[in-house]
Structure 1
Amino acid sequence: MSAADTAADDQYLALLRQIMEQGDRRVDRTGVGTRSLFGAMARFDLSGDRVPILTTKRVSWKTAVKEMLWFLSGGTNIRELIAQNVRIWTDWPLAAYRRATGEAIDQAHFERRILAEPGFAERWGDLGPVYGKQWRRWLGPDGREHDQIATVVELLRTAPASRRILFHGWNVAELGGMALPPCHMVYQYHVTSDGRLNGLLFQRSADHLLGTPFNWTGAAVLLRMLADQAGLQPGTLVWMGGDVHLYLNHLDQAEAQLARAPRPAPRLRLLRRPDSIDGYRIEDFALDGYDPHPAIKAEVAV
């Protein structure tokens, strides 16, 4: 097995062990507590359909892809996700509903109401101006909206040597209205002279057990789509983490994952090339050779 075959797991597990052994114990916003490192990096070769999807636990890769497609759509309401059986964003509006109403509603009931009642979904399912809003409809001081993703695609096609091919979600003026400020904040792209697309993601905050595997998958899939649209070949994905942490109620799960041996990495194929970045659907992605260890369950800190 080559190093490239286990690169995602090897880098992930090394960082996981480092957090366990050297992480600073901190009281965080959620009150759960973390072990935290500041500053981390991982690099992934995306050529040959490689993708950094972990094998030391099953990653719900279709959920990660659906989330990325939702971001690209500009959506901000969980109704669109729940309709696709994606429930990873429900915790935040559910907590807000419980605080506001005092009703001890369970998640399943809350999600059923989101799907069945458009008015309820509009009131309680919207997350505010989160990722999709900033990526596709950043509001300037003059009232004009800016589609950062469209600009990235245009620059990749017309000015590939530009050092300004990037987008980000940290809109200071709108942070207060967001259910959760963006964790994966800045994406920058670089086109090589031989037509390879490299990407860099800076993530200010990374829940290493639950969040990092999703973010690696999502960033790799986004790079693949952008390369597809610009007629480029996938190159290298660089991930940079700011506060990279393990919640204290995830330590047993981390130990379990560290005891597992990586398996050969899968390959991700794009089955068609839509006319625009907005045209991709989950059916356009095929993952071959994915044989991971079982999933590891853990609670999300809200």
Structure 2
Amino acid sequence: MTSSAQTHYEQQYLDLMARIWSHGDERIDRTGVGTRSIFGTTLRFDLSDGQVPLLTTKRIYWKTATREFLWFLTGETNIRPLCAQGVEIWTDWPLDRYRRETGDRMTREDFSRRIVEDADFAARWGELGPVYGKQWTDWPVYEADAAAGAGLFRRRERGINQVAELVEGLRRNPGGRRHIVEGWNVAELDAMALPPCHKTYQFHVADGRLSGIVYQRSCDVALGLPFNLWGGALFIHMLAQQCDLLPGELVWMGGDTHLYLNHGDLVEAQLARQPAGSPRLVLGRRPASIFDYEIGDFTVLDYHPQKHLAAPVAV
């Protein structure tokens, strides 16, 4: 292995993958596929000068990941807006429920098409429950309802927008220790198609630079982590622009960090490749708020990845 590969930012990801595949604890997981897993991991990435932790040993579809992240910021919980953009990241979970409850073995392509074309069908089968964006932008709050009687509560029409409060907090008190966005709402986990994996974000300002930690309770290293690293870096770059700061560092922390047993071909192929290059993110404009970014606002320069590696998603 060359010295350039040893110092490349992606090498820590490849080292993590190799460690899990060689030494991870083999276990049966929720999906029944089985994993090799380790617990408690950390990766760090410099985001200065537009740097982003895009993997180069395989193509990462960063526009797809960006569309998902912008969807989070809308607070939307239905897959229809994603499917309309050709983003199928979340389609497998409602499709699985549809097949179980109806017995209809509709193809993924036909299911997604019907979600887009039929609003009633989407309302019935495209809902994911109060996942990520709902918690980020509308965390439920309950208030005493005097009109209904003592001891009774009603849900406030609009909950807490954690992202809006985060932006305000970073502007008003950059040295604070409460710059947190949390997705793990215990009371609503059972209503979610999938409880949040990247559950906690915390931010820190030092010397005019914004850094962030992403804590992920459960991490599919082969398929999920590349998107999660991009999402964490993207969030920091957007927040920094909105708060007149410079991007600092992304710190990623994993709890149950695993590779699925049916991802062996991908793992071996990717570990045989050498990382190279240094892609940069350019933000084309500064929107009025963090909720007003559009996909055309993001450009990645100098990204020349090796060819895509595919593997099945465990649902």
Q: TM-score interval w.r.t. the shorter chain?
A: over 0.9
Out of 182, 196, 205, the position equivalent to 2:209 is 196
State how far apart, in whole Å, the 2-side matches of 1:156 and 1:30 are.
39
The Cα shift of 1:251 comes to: 1.1
The Cα shift of 1:298 comes to: 0.5
1:184 and 2:198 equivalent?
yes
Relative distance call for 1:32 and 1:130 in structure 2 (3 A) is same
Which runs of no fewer than 5 residues in structure 1 stay unpaired? none
Within 5 Å, give how 1:217-236 maps onto structure 2. Answer: 217-236=230-249
2:213 partner SS: strand
The one-letter code matched in structure 2 to 1:185 is K
| 2:102 match | 101
The one-letter code matched in structure 2 to 1:178 is M
Which runs of no fewer than 5 residues in structure 2 stay unpaired? 144-154
The Cα shift of 1:263 comes to: 1.2
Out of 142, 155, 168, the position equivalent to 2:182 is 168
Out of 281, 294, 298, the position equivalent to 2:311 is 298
2:211 partner SS: strand
1:128 partner SS: coil
State how far apart, in whole Å, the 2-side matches of 1:301 and 1:179 are.
14
What do the CA deviations read for 1:28-71 (whole angstroms, capped 9, x no partner)?
A: 00000000010100000000110000000000010111111000
State how far apart, in whole Å, the 2-side matches of 1:95 and 1:3 are.
41
1:55 and 2:62 equivalent?
no
2:218 partner SS: strand
Q: Does the 8 Å CA contact 2:5/2:275 hold for their aligned counterparts?
A: no
1:126 and 2:127 equivalent?
yes
Q: Percent identity?
A: 58
| 2:166 match | 152
Q: Does the 8 Å CA contact 1:33/1:248 hold for their aligned counterparts?
A: yes
| 1:41 match | 42
Q: Which runs of 4+ in 1 moved over 3 A?
A: 1-5
The Cα shift of 1:3 comes to: 7.6
Q: Does the 8 Å CA contact 1:52/1:216 hold for their aligned counterparts?
A: yes
Instruction: Report the structure number with the largest CA radius of gyration.
Output: 2
The one-letter code matched in structure 1 to 2:26 is R
State how far apart, in whole Å, the 1-side matches of 2:168 and 2:4 are.
36
2:96 partner SS: helix
Out of 264, 267, 289, the position equivalent to 2:277 is 264
State how far apart, in whole Å, the 2-side matches of 1:231 and 1:57 are.
33
Out of 275, 287, 295, the position equivalent to 1:274 is 287
State how far apart, in whole Å, the 1-side matches of 2:171 and 2:5 are.
33
The one-letter code matched in structure 2 to 1:95 is D
What do the CA deviations read for 1:69-103 (whole angstroms, capped 9, x no partner)?
A: 00011111110001111011100000000001011
Superposition CA RMSD, Å: 1.2
State how far apart, in whole Å, the 2-side matches of 1:153 and 1:291 are.
33
1:87 and 2:88 equivalent?
yes
2:30 partner SS: coil
State how far apart, in whole Å, the 2-side matches of 1:182 and 1:57 are.
25
What do the CA deviations read for 1:121-141 (whole angstroms, capped 9, x no partner)?
A: 011001000001000000023
State how far apart, in whole Å, the 1-side matches of 2:161 and 2:225 are.
26
1:15 partner SS: helix
State how far apart, in whole Å, the 2-side matches of 1:5 and 1:51 are.
15
After the TM superposition, which of the residue ranges 43-52 and 143-152 deviates more from structure 2?
Answer: 143-152
State how far apart, in whole Å, the 1-side matches of 2:4 and 2:302 are.
15
The Cα shift of 1:4 comes to: 10
State how far apart, in whole Å, the 2-side matches of 1:280 and 1:3 are.
34
Matched pairs, number: 300
State how far apart, in whole Å, the 1-side matches of 2:164 and 2:118 are.
33
The Cα shift of 1:6 comes to: 2.3
2:204 partner SS: strand
1:277 partner SS: coil
Report the TM-score, using the length of structure 2 for normalisation. 0.93
Q: Does the 8 Å CA contact 2:5/2:274 hold for their aligned counterparts?
A: no
Report the TM-score, using the length of structure 1 for normalisation. 0.97
| 1:243 match | 256
Relative distance call for 1:77 and 1:4 in structure 2 (3 A) is farther
State how far apart, in whole Å, the 1-side matches of 2:126 and 2:253 are.
31
